[in-house]
């Protein structure tokens, strides 16, 4: 099962290396790992999406905890949370099909952030399922390039 | 007052009460070595960085204090890698200073540059690359704290050369402030109550004791628990010495080369209490059939060890000392309900003792170990290499004191034993230190004979010389149709007596069983290092043996005929 881990770490060089190394060394299946700064410049927040049986996830959390630079590990899979992923698509867009693409953008509430002669860059944010659906919808037009940030998550409420 | 980084480093070591550094100098640590020269801290110069790390490791194992070692950058640091991994696997507190190229040369493939923090990432408890001399004292303070608390382990501090030159105010911190690292002080009493219930309800309990018990220094508590509840005790390789093997409740070692009775007891027990042990594959054999009838209590300081390999009924995370003291107060003294179990265990002991046959004129390796046990009255510190020599030492030396068995259990590092003997002797100068070695392993770090001679250390090294890489040969005999691929060393090893003499040590060769005892006595009477070359039965095997992937009750060999 897919688990979402919210991990607070020290903002030191090499911390990402320690975390990523742990996953590769112990053979855990990482689906996505996002890391960025927080309101406190001393800390970074990672959102790690990892696939595995409950015992494996428990091991992942315990092993993460053992890293000296890891301050907090929470498995927020079952928490009410806002989960977001940002994707940029560069799509072939000959004038003949542009209208159709723009319709899709409207339906999914996407933003066109670059308008070239033969291609568009479309920005999409949302949950994984929605982004997968968008990708499917855009594929027939020809996706020239796609980048995803990986999921970021935040638990709702004051927690 | 401002001090240079090198001066700060030495001052920090003095603050930590370090009396000995093991190391090897080089270009990037010249400033540090200059301060060592001026200081009163002892330094042991080994002949290879790997030897320095193993020696520091053994020093830590026999004293309980952290070992400190130092290497230069690049190859000096990479030579330390096996030593660091060895200490990591066996949870040994170690501080490893590695030199590094100057900050401005970092990442440019400079001469003797290696990314040692990167290389050692998965084999350290933590590591630091010092970027500012101002941080050095804090980092060293943290490193000692991390290395020695919780589940101990090695910490690498990579020190660029300009850090040792630059100056900063020296202020040794009194405390550490590590938000991501907390040492567990409390224990969960509910869990302990539950464990006590499981133990009180048991009729066939077994205590399974690992290296964590030695680190915690809880041999008295284990003895008390075993005697109060009448629990037979088996130890892992790392746990040898945590329970006196001369005690009637002792089952000796369990696992692949464990005793029949320890392994049978594991298979039949209804309650297994694991203390500071991690259910290693060499202990459990086939995991599905390990302790199948038992409710399992697992006590460990490292939460990640609990439930890692086996299903646990009562997990207890915490320092084994605190846990055992609480547990002892809650378990009921046995009133005879385990008599039947003890009888059964005793019967196994009578029926299936550790056993070898002295036939012909050959020296039996087991006999050598037994004789070493007798001449040292069981009071020596034993270091081992890895392979048959290690298993025979574990089986036939009856360990009764903690911190007397120094062996590379987790990583299984050949070449560990000789430098370990040196480090052990320096840590415990008044004890007899005996290195048990094989002719293969010995040659992996034989250069350290020079170190033993240079410091006139009275270490005795017994090579069980069978002219083979014996354990590998044993597997080839049993599982590879007797095809001895690349394991025959007969005639291609040096003359070990001459080798000892070349280093300025005493060499003694022993070829007949009746010469074993006198040779050992002679060795002990010599004040300096002695290398004993025991020419032993070539194809003697280590039995009993659980075949790889087999169940513990499925042992090969070792039965009385």
* Whole-number Å distance between alpha carbons of B384 and B441: 9
Q: Do B304 and A65 touch (CB under 8 A)?
A: yes
Residues B519-535 as b or e (16 or more Cβ within 10 Å = b) = bbeebbeeeebbbbbbb
Q: Both A89 and A144 in a single domain?
A: yes
DSSP per-residue letters across B382-410 = EEE-SSHHHHHHHHHS---STT-EE---S
- CATH number of A70's domain: 3.30.70.260
What order of strands is seen across the sheet that includes strand B205-209? B250-253, B233-235, B205-209, B271-275, B295-300, B314-317
- Residue by residue, pLDDT tens for chain B (561 residues) are 899 999 999 999 999 999 999 999 999 999 999 999 999 999 999 999 999 999 999 999 999 999 999 999 999 999 999 999 999 999 999 999 999 999 999 999 999 999 999 999 999 999 999 999 999 999 999 999 999 999 999 999 999 999 999 999 999 999 999 999 988 888 999 999 999 999 999 999 999 999 999 999 999 999 999 999 999 999 999 999 999 999 999 999 999 999 999 999 999 999 999 999 999 999 999 999 999 999 999 999 999 999 999 999 999 999 999 999 999 999 999 999 999 999 999 999 999 999 999 888 999 999 999 999 999 999 999 999 999 999 999 999 999 999 999 999 999 999 999 999 999 999 999 999 999 999 999 999 999 999 999 999 999 999 999 999 999 999 999 999 999 999 999 999 999 999 999 999 999 999 999 999 999 999 999 999 999 999 999 999 999 999 999 999 989 886 654
Q: How far apart are CA A68 and CA B390, in angstroms?
A: 34
Inter-chain residue contact A68 with B308, CB threshold 8 Å: no
Asked if the domains B189-351 and B365-535 are classified in one and the same CATH topology, the answer is yes
Of the three residues A45, A75, A105, the one that is the final residue of a domain is A75
The pLDDT assigned to B184 comes to 85
Q: Of A75, A107, A136, which residue constitutes the final position of a domain?
A: A75
> Which DSSP string do the residues of B49-75 spell out, in sequence order?
HHHHHHHHHHHHHHHSSPEEEEE-STH
What residues pair up with B434 in beta bridges, in sequence order?
Answer: B382, B460
Query: Which pLDDT score, from 0 to 100, does residue B482 have?
Result: 97
The average confidence (pLDDT) of chain A is 93
CATH of the domain at A148: 3.30.70.1150
CA-nearest of B271, B317, B308, B306 to B292 is B271
> SS3 breakdown of chain B: % helix, strand, coil, rounded to 5?
40, 20, 40
Annotated domain spans of chain B = 2-169, 189-351, 365-535
CA dist B4 and B2 (Å) reads: 7
Chain A residues closer than 8 Å to B307 by CB: 55, 58-59
Q: What is the pLDDT of residues A117-156, one digit of tens each?
A: 899 999 999 998 999 999 999 999 999 999 999 999 999 9
Domain-ending residue, one of A35, A54, A75: A75
Per-residue confidence (pLDDT) for residue B559, from 0 to 100? 60
Domain B365-535 listed as CATH 3.40.50.970:
yes
Query: A10, B180: Cβ pair inside 8 Å?
Result: yes
What was the pLDDT predicted at B359? Answer: 84
Number of domains forming the structure of chain A: 2
Q: In the structure, what pLDDT confidence band is assigned to residue A13 with cuts at 50, 70 and 90?
A: confident
Cβ atoms A30, A50 nearer than 8 A:
yes
d(CA B291, CA B295): 8
A45 lies in the same domain as A100? no
The closest CB to that of A71, out of B117, B179, B308, belongs to: B179
Q: A68 to chain B nearest CA, in Å?
A: 5
Both A55 and A118 in one domain: the answer is no
In a shared domain, residues A68 and A91: no
The pLDDT value given to residue B364: 98
Beta strands in B364-469 (DSSP E): 381-384, 405-406, 433-438, 460-465
pTM of the model: 0.96
Considering the segment(s) B189-351 as one domain, its CATH architecture is 3-Layer(aba) Sandwich (3.40)
**Are residues A140 and A111 part of one domain?**
yes
Give residue for tokens 């590094």. Answer: B100
Q: Give the number of A-B residue pairs with CB atoms closer than 8 Å.
A: 37
β-pairing, B2-4 with A152-155? unpaired
* Structure-token match 């070239």, residue found: A116
Which residues, at least 6 apart from B86, have a Cβ–Cβ distance to it below 8 Å?
A: B53, B54, B57, B92, B408, B410, B411, B413, B416
Model pLDDT, residue A159: 67
Q: By C-alpha distance, which of B56, B138, B134, B47 is closest to B95?
A: B56
Q: Which CATH class name applies to B2-169?
A: alpha beta
Residues A57, A92 within the same domain: no
Query: A7: part of which helix (H) or strand (E)?
Result: strand A2-10
Are A6 and A67 part of one and the same domain? Answer: yes
Q: Are residues A96 and A64 part of one domain? A: no
Domain that holds residue A59: 2-75
């Amino acid at each position: 099962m897919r688990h979402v881990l919210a991990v607070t770490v020290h903002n030191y060089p090499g911390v990402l290396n320690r975390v990523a190394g742990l996953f590769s060394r112990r053979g855990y299946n990482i689906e996505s790992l996002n890391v960025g700064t927080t309101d406190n410049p001393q800390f970074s927040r990672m959102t790690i999406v990892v696939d595995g049986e409950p015992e494996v996830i428990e091991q992942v959390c315990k092993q993460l905890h053992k890293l000296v630079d890891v301050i907090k590990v929470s498995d927020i899979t079952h928490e009410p949370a806002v989960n977001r992923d940002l994707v940029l698509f560069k799509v072939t867009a000959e004038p003949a099909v542009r209208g159709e693409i723009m319709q899709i953008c409207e339906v999914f509430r996407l933003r066109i952030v670059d308008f070239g002669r033969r291609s568009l860059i479309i920005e999409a944010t949302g949950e994984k399922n929605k982004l997968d659906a968008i990708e499917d919808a855009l594929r027939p037009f020809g996706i020239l390039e796609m980048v995803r940030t990986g999921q970021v998550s935040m638990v709702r409420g004051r927690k | 007052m401002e001090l240079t980084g090198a001066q700060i480093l030495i001052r920090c070591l003095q603050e930590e009460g370090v009396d000995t550094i093991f190391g090897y100098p080089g270009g990037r640590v010249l400033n540090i070595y200059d301060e060592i020269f001026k200081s009163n801290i002892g330094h042991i110069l080994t002949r290879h960085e790997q030897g320095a790390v193993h020696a520091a490791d053994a020093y830590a194992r026999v004293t309980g204090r952290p070992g400190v070692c130092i290497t230069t950058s690049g190859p000096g640091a990479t030579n330390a890698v096996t030593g660091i991994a060895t200490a990591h696997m066996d949870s040994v507190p170690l501080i490893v200073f590695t030199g590094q190229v100057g900050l401005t040369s970092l990442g440019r493939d400079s001469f003797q540059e290696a990314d040692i923090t990167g290389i050692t990432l998965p084999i350290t408890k933590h590591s630091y690359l010092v970027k500012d001399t101002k941080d050095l004292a804090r980092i060293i303070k943290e490193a000692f704290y991390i290395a020695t608390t919780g589940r101990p382990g090695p910490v690498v501090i990579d020190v660029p050369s300009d850090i040792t030159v630059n100056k900063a105010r020296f202020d040794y911190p009194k405390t550490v402030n590590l938000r991501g690292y907390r040492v567990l002080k409390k224990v969960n009493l509910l869990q302990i109550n539950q464990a006590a219930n499981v133990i009180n309800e048991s009729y066939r309990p077994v205590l399974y004791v690992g290296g964590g018990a030695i680190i915690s220094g809880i041999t008295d508590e284990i003895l008390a628990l075993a005697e109060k509840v009448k629990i037979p005790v088996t130890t892992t390789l790392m746990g040898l010495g945590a329970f006196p093997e001369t005690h009637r409740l002792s089952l000796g070692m369990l696992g692949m080369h464990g005793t029949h009775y320890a392994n049978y007891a594991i298979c039949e027990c209804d309650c297994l209490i694991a203390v500071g042990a991690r259910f290693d594959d060499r202990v459990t054999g086939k995991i599905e059939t390990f302790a199948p009838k038992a409710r399992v209590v697992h006590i460990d300081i490292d939460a990640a060890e609990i439930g890692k390999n086996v299903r646990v009924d009562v997990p207890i995370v915490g320092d084994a000392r605190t846990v055992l003291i609480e547990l002892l107060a809650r378990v009921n003294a046995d009133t005879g309900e385990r008599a039947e179990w003890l009888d059964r265990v005793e019967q196994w002991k009578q029926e299936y003792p550790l056993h070898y046959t002295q036939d012909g004129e050959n020296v039996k390796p087991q006999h050598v170990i037994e004789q070493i046990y007798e001449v040292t009255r069981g009071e020596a510190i034993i270091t081992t290499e890895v392979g048959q020599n290690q298993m025979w030492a574990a089986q036939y030396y009856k360990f009764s004191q903690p911190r007397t068995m120094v062996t590379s259990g987790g990583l299984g590092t050949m070449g560990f034993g000789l430098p370990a003997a040196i480090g052990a002797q320096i840590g415990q100068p008044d004890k007899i230190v005996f290195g048990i070695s094989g002719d293969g392993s010995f040659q992996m770090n034989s250069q350290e004979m020079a170190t033993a001679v240079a410091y006139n250390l009275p270490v005795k090294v017994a090579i069980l010389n069978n002219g083979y890489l014996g354990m590998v040969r044993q597997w080839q005999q049993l599982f590879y149709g007797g095809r001895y691929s690349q394991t025959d060393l007969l005639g291609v090893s040096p003359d070990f007596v001459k080798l000892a003499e070349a280093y300025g040590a005493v060499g003694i060769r022993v070829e007949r069983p009746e010469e074993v005892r006198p040779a050992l006595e002679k060795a002990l009477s010599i004040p300096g290092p002695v290398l004993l070359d025991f020419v032993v039965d070539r194809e003697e095997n280590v039995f009993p043996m659980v075949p790889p992937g087999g169940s513990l009750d499925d042992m090969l060999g070792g039965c009385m005929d």
